[in-house]
Amino acid sequence: MKYNASLPDDKVNIPKDNLLFLALKLLFSLAVLIAIFYVVLKFTLDTIVTHLPVSYEKKLTSLVSFDLNITDGRSSKYLDEITETLSKCASLPYEVKTFIISENTPNAFALPGGIMYITEGMLKKLKNQNELVAIMGHEMGHFKNRDHLKGFGNAMIVSVISLLLGEGYGGILNASLNISNAKFSQSAEFESDIFALDVMQCAYGNVTDATKLFARLDKGEDWRYFLASHPTFKDRIDRMNNHILEQNYNTTDEVIPLKKF
């Protein structure tokens, strides 16, 4: 038998694919798949959420313990009064309860079940009652649009997708979903701002100083707002002012001074 000395044929075992191109192609397909999955789930959840009966929501809320020291929250007669006045105009599906928590970061938030929190830090920033009303009206807007539930829905979708794909895809996936989340909550913020103006005009007959607090909080940090859940204060003030002009709301009344919380 004669031995035929030959070299391995490179064409047989070495794939001809361009790996970079293949990676891009697959990444793109994956992105499209996730996007479809996300949109479908989000649409389903949002539909469920908007039609979820309030009694059911309360039941669900009682099952979830929030990572907040709720015992810290104290109620205040003054805030209760404002809540009541605003509620008459807001026609919310809930009875909203407002609490103050001792936290220095200025913030206010709406939790499922009609619970609204305002931090001490936020109260310290206020100069008059009108600003407080604007903030509370804004949070009520979240209740009205049920953004607090949609927020939970979004968080749920993101965790489901990350679970399905496994940890490997980690950062890049979460990041891209966070951006779309942020965009969602930015539009929710705008809607709530407008709602706050409507409620304020209805309950107090004027919207004087409704945008003042935002103007004071505005530090002009535009660059990070692409990823932020809240839009820039400047954008918000602009939109609110537009709405005030369109609806011809009263901005000339005297402001009401703050009472004791």
Footprint on this chain of another protein (rule: CB under 8 A):
1, 3, 5-8, 13-15, 17, 19-20, 22-23, 26-27, 29-30, 165-172, 174-175, 178, 227
**Cβ proximity to another protein, 98 vs 181, nearer residue:** 181
Least CB distance from residue 37 to another protein, whole Å? 13
Nearer to another protein, 37 or 261 (CB): 37
CB closer to another protein, 3 vs 56: 3
Q: Closest distance between another protein and the C-beta of residue 2, in Å? A: 8
- Which positions ≥6 away from 62 have C-beta within 8 Å? 113
Q: Provide the minimum distance between the beta carbon of 151 and another protein in the complex, in angstroms, as a whole number.
A: 18
Nearest distance from C-beta of residue 1 to another protein, angstroms:
5
Who's near 94: CB < 8 A, 6+ residues apart? 54, 113, 114, 143
CB-wise, 167 or 246, nearer to another protein? 167
85/229 with CB nearer another protein: 229
Burial of 59 per CB tally in 10 Å (0-12, 13-18, 19+) = exposed
Q: How far is the CB of 82 from another protein (least distance, A)?
A: 37
**Which residues, 6+ apart, have CB-to-CB distance to 170 below 8 Å?**
none
